[in-house]
Structure 1
Amino acid sequence: MLPKQKITYIISGVNRSLAFEWIGKELDRSKFDLEFILLFNGKPRIEKILRQNGSEVHTINYKSKRSIPRALLVMLYLLLKNKPDIVHTHLFEATLLGSVLAKLIGVKKRLQTRHHATSNLIYHPKMVKWDKFNTSLATKIIAPSKNVAKTLVEKEDVDLNKVEVVYHGFKIDEIENVPVEKVEQLRSKYKIHSNEGPIVGVISRYLELKGIQFIIPAFKRLFKDHPNAKLILANAVGPFKNEIRRLLKEIPEDRILEIEFENEIFALYKLFDLFVHVPVNETVEAFGQIYIEALASGIPSIFTLSGVAAEFVRPGHDAVVVDFMNSEEIYLGMKKILSDQVFREQIIENGRKGLSKFEFHHFIKELERLYE
């Protein structure tokens, strides 16, 4: 029997993530020992859960660039102590620091999952040199969509043989079958009354690339048709906050609910009558897990085809698909979903059917294949 391989995950800026929690629980422990190093400002919620799932976890306090020297020293100590066979990094600071150290101490398998596509090329061009530096240190780069793979190879000159497309995995049953009591607890928590509706849901950080600035004018028009309509904006933090708040001033305050963080995210979907996710172009979304979550939740949705959606969402079959940066089409999509019950039920049913390749067991098998 082959000895277990030691894997160290290095992750930055993540407070809670079901994906990492599922990996910690489902990775084959007869083949792999799994350790996590978390860079975070404070104590992340995920730390306790990962420990409960049987992983060794170390959190390094990371507030800003000033934290880098100490983070490097602590991380180096942990890597030398554990002597991993594989280091797998996620997100920028973890990838930069972790990849440098992993190469320095001679770790032969250095994996990176790339969590962004063209956003740096468009919005932060000075960061592209660091993206290229990071990818130069990897022995394998996991792209969660064909869009990310294309960006790496065609825009950043990464060797095609270094890139592997592995779709993010989801426990579809858990998303679909949320206990009713959890949904009702959220309804009570956020004081959503029975006479309120339709409820329009958005789950996106306040970033220009997410297209929320085109949803708000559409909702403003919907509100005129439905005075009891409510707009729920979850993950409501980010650098585009001032512009979002300016647009929201045109809508009565009691018709808006902003949620910075919600732990029971799958229950939150169940509060929505319809869901909207409209990134501003076809390449800016790296994957877009909320495409999968919304469809698995059975919520009729309005999408632009960005990230992974371009690979599987069929316009008018799985969801309403609208042009980029088009408030008029978003509004008309809202009206279509709310007024046409047959269409609404069809896209709900079809949307659920098209998710088999995103089942978690496919994802974990692909990961284990790359680790072996």
Structure 2
Amino acid sequence: MHVLHTFANNDHVPYLTWFTDRAVQEGDPTYTFLIMYPERPGIMDEMQAKGFKCEWIRYRDSHRKLDMLMALPRLWRYMRKYRPDIVHCNLFDDSVPGLIAAKLAGVKVRVITKQDTGYHYLHAPHWMAVDRFNSRMATHVLAISNESKRFLIHKEGTPEHKITLVHNGIPSEQFTRQDPVVMDRLKQRFGTANKGPIIGTVARFIEWKGYKLILAAAMELVKEHPDALFLLCGSGAEEPEIRTMIEESGLKNNVVLTGWIDRSEMASFYGLLDVYFHAAILEPFGLVYPEAMMNSVPVVSTFTGAAADAIEDGKNGILVTERTGKALAEGVERLLRSDHRSIGIAGRKTALAMYSFDVMWQGTVDLYRNALKPVE
């Protein structure tokens, strides 16, 4: 089975490493990669060292329309050259020319993973027509959560028979290695002594990630928990506004913007937390709270993405249906009044069963094999 992947705007994609490592181990599928990027992507060396073909197509997202058009004939030529059984497009910028090129090249199985459902709907509605076009051009659409699937059906008009649900997954052994030495260093760095409960979140500082809701909830929670500490790990366009909100709301002694934490230290960061807070307004999947769950941190979340699929309210986490600071604060209070350690352990079991890389790998390979059956 020969699968050709297209990617845009990424020089390093952990999933490529995980999938190709497993493919080398299993002996199937064979991969080819077409990477659209401004400069030669470093990941080419890794893929070629594993025996997979990898081609670079110069692409600048700052010249999106022009460079999509320029990429189209090159994508088509490579697809004609390599003649894959399946073309799998992964991001919006590569899927627009990639799916057209695949159809013109005569590739019968064309898969698109919808990683960013909702972004154009909220922030760039003029691109929604192109999202719908992509769904029409694809023969199979991979949804990463039930929320994503519902959006595809009701907002993009994707026929349900085209959609396969495969949750994103991570190699759990890589993301649950807590190091006591690192934890002690992080405790000192963030000033956790004599603080509690410690509540954390990891996300970009952008509106739809819900940071304003988290700060509104923090204002409620410090009334009952004056020593509560909120660790906000992220960066982004809204950071100056968030800093102003922290200052003006009197949360200066309760909120820490952690800055950069190395990926290898994230499991140790989760080990500091009593509660993981997720307040996204719309989230196709969201990988960090499955990571938190795998580290036995009880999660309080809005009803979005992977949380909505995995959490049974009150059993392995807390789901909050009302998107207000007060409702989120009440969710945290409900967790703290319960046996939250048992809830964290139950959440870990759920996350390992649903969101491990093994489950994602098998779901993706099954999609490929089922898609090829009619055309073999």
1:310 has 2:308 as partner: yes
Q: Which residue of 2 aligns with 1:275?
A: 276
Residue 345 of structure 1, CA deviation: 0.9
Matched with 2:200 is 201
State the alpha-carbon separation in 2 of the partners of residues 170 and 98 from structure 1.
26
The question of whether the paired residues in 2 share the 8 Å contact of 1:319 and 1:347 is answered with yes
Who is 1:68 aligned against?
68
Number of the residue aligned with 1:293 = 291
Amino acid at match of 1:27: A
Q: Deviations over 1:269-323 (max 9, x none)?
A: 234332111222xxx3212222321111111221112123223311111112223
Cα pair distance change 1:298/1:55, threshold 3 Å: farther
**Match status 1:354 vs 2:354:** no
Give, in whole Å, the separation in 2 of the partners of 1:121 and 1:99: 21
The more displaced of 262-271 and 362-371 is 262-271
Paired residues, number: 360
Relative to 1, partners in 2 of residues 1:354 and 1:48: Cα closer, same or farther, differing over 3 Å?
same
What code does the residue aligned with 1:360 have? Answer: F
Which stretch has the larger CA shift, 7-16 or 342-351? 7-16
Post-superposition Cα deviations, 1:165-209, rounded to whole Å, max 9, x if no partner, equal 122223233333344455556x28x92345264442211223322
Could you say if the C-alpha distance between residues 194 and 159 of structure 1 is closer, same or farther in structure 2, counting changes exceeding 3 Å? closer
1:87 counterpart SS class:
strand
Instruction: Give the AA of the match of 2:280.
Output: P
The answer to whether the 8 Å contact 1:35/1:56 transfers is yes
When the two structures are superposed, what TM-score results if normalisation uses the length of structure 1?
Answer: 0.83
Task: Tell me, in whole angstroms, the C-alpha distance in 1 between the residues paired with 2:14 and 2:23.
Answer: 14
Does the Cα contact within 8 Å between 1:211 and 1:325 map onto a contact in 2? Answer: no
Cα 1:253–1:163 shift into 2, 3 Å = same
SS at 1:308's partner residue? helix
Counterpart Cα distance in 1 of 2:144 and 2:87: 18
Structure 2 CA distance, aligned partners of 1:272 and 1:83?
49
Query: TM-score by structure 2 length?
Result: 0.82
1:215-241 superposed Cα distances (whole Å, 9 cap, x missing partner)? 012224445666665433334225x45
Name the CA shift for 1:317/1:193 in 2 (closer, same or farther; >3 Å).
Answer: same
Distance 1:164 1:193, change over 3 A: same
SS of match in other structure, 1:368: helix
Q: AA paired with 1:273?
A: D
Residue of structure 1 in register with 2:141 after alignment: 141
In 2, the alpha carbon distance for the partners of 1:17 and 1:196 equals: 39
- Provide the rounded CA distance (Å) in 1 between the counterparts of 2:127 and 2:149: 18
Q: Report what 1:154 is aligned to.
A: 154
In the alignment, the residues of structure 2 paired with residue 325 and residue 337 of structure 1 have an alpha-carbon distance, to the nearest angstrom, of 17
Alignment check: 8 A CA contact 2:232 2:255 kept: no
Q: Residue 28 of structure 2: which of 26, 31, 38 is its match?
A: 31
Shifted more, 353-362 versus 104-113: the winner is: 353-362
How much does 1:33 deviate? 1.3
Partner of 1:244: 242
2:324 alignment partner in structure 1: 326
The code of the aligned residue for 1:252 comes to: K
**Equivalent pair of 1:95/1:134 in contact (CA under 8 Å):** yes
Change (3 A) 1:21 1:322: same
Q: Alignment RMSD, CA only? A: 3.1
* Residues 227 and 39 of structure 1: CA distance in aligned 2, closer, same or farther (over 3 Å): farther
Distance 1:230 1:19, change over 3 A: farther
1:343 paired with 2:339, answer yes
Q: Where does residue 362 of structure 2 map in the other structure?
A: 365
- 2:17 — aligned with what? 21
